[in-house]
Amino acid sequence: MLCPYLFMLKKLSDLIINVALWGFFTTTSFILCIGAGILRLVTMPFDPNRRVLQQYSCFWASLYIWFNPYWSVTISGKEHVDPKKSYVMVSNHASMADILVIFASFLHFKWVSKKEMFKAPFLGWNMWLNGYVGIDRGNPNSREQCMKDCRVWLKKGSPVFFFPEGTRSKDGKLKEFKQGAFRLAAETGVDILPMVISGSSQAIPKHSILLNRKSKMHLQILPPVPVSQASFEEVEEKSSELAVHVREHIAAHLTS
């Protein structure tokens, strides 16, 4: 007779924990978004790449890992990152928690994200303040503008970050990589910095709002993949080769 009561007690406990975590998320997002706006105004005259705001955003995102007793993140391979270089950064994508994991690296970069994300209260506004790059995937003109914006940031010394699968994997298996990130690398001659995220698929399951799944997440930063600038005629072929090569490299570390 105790089992049904224990089950109900666990469900109630899960509900209380999730309400508390989402309440913390909402409250801090409101407060920290105001802080981000003030920080952007203060640093605008001397920080064109918005590096200070990026570090602030990394701290903001990391709060939700530090304050969630069910989550932990370890990071390895930061020695492969030269802070003075621009990179086209890419990673696998299995969960919304991946975004927090990448932020927890405290690396400087500009996200490439769906345009509708910029409309989200607080977080979307902070994305706009950081100068992240929006894209409407169904619009060829938007894709070209995205590439132009990315080239501008790379030239200024800011890496750009892509999830080349385009969307989260439903089953945790690595999907095919879209070529946008690799075309950008081939056109500019900027090295690719691959990353591997493991253990995140159950942290925030797709179509779920649960935040109390035990998840030991790990971000592994792999050595950069050197890229030489391709001629106009070579770009398509080279970007395709890079997409396949980097996907295989990430897949090998996912299964090891």
* Domains of the chain, earliest start first: 2-254 (3.40.1130)
Look at 9-18, 52-61, 175-184, 229-238 and tell me which has the smallest mean pLDDT: 9-18
Q: What is the pLDDT of residue 255?
A: 65
Please give the backbone phi and psi of residue 145, each rounded to the nearest 5 degrees, phi first. Answer: -65, -35
102, 195 contact by CB (below 8 A): yes
Q: Which residues of 27-58 are buried (b: 16+ CB within 10 A; e: fewer)?
A: ebbeebbeebeebbeeeeeeeeebeebbebbb
Q: What percent of the chain lies above the pLDDT cut of 70?
A: 97
Residue 7 vs residues 208, 210, 222: alpha-carbon distances, Å? 20, 17, 43
Q: What percent of the chain lies above the pLDDT cut of 90?
A: 78
For the stretch 209-252, pLDDT in tens is 888 889 999 999 999 999 999 887 899 999 999 999 999 999 99
For the stretch 98-154, pLDDT in tens is 999 999 999 999 999 999 999 999 999 999 999 999 999 778 899 999 999 999 999
Q: What is the pLDDT of residue 208?
A: 78
Q: What is the pLDDT of residue 166?
A: 87
Task: Report which of 165, 186, 141 is spatially closest to residue 250, judged by C-alpha positions.
Answer: 165
- Contacts of residue 221, defined as CB under 8 A and 6 or more positions apart, other chains included, come to 75, 76, 77, 78, 80, 81, 105, 193, 195
Extended strands (E) in 147-191: 160-162
Q: What is the pLDDT of residue 78?
A: 97
96, 163 contact by CB (below 8 A): no
Quick one: which H or E segment has residue 43? helix 2-43
Model confidence, pTM: 0.92
More confident call, 234 vs 42: 42
Please give the backbone phi and psi of residue 127, each rounded to the nearest 5 degrees, phi first. Answer: -60, -40
Average pLDDT over residues 173-185: 93
Does residue 8 have a pLDDT over 80?
no
Check residue 77 and give left, alpha or beta (phi > 0: left; psi -120 to 50: alpha). left
pLDDT category, 7, cuts 50, 70, 90?
low
Look at 28-42, 90-104, 160-174 and tell me which has the smallest mean pLDDT: 160-174
Q: What is the pLDDT of residue 135?
A: 93
Q: What is the pLDDT of residue 1?
A: 47
Q: What is the pLDDT of residue 256?
A: 52
Average pLDDT over residues 85-94: 96
Q: What is the pLDDT of residue 70?
A: 93
Q: How confident is the prediction for the chain on average, in pLDDT? A: 92
Average pLDDT over residues 51-75: 97
pLDDT category, 84, cuts 50, 70, 90?
very high
Instruction: At 204, list the tokens.
Output: 């925030």
N-to-C CA span, the chain: 45
Does residue 5 have a pLDDT over 70?
no
Does residue 44 have a pLDDT over 90?
yes
For residues 236 and 132, give the distance between their C-alpha atoms in angstroms, rounded to a whole number: 25
Q: What is the pLDDT of residue 232?
A: 79
Quick one: which H or E segment has residue 55? helix 51-66
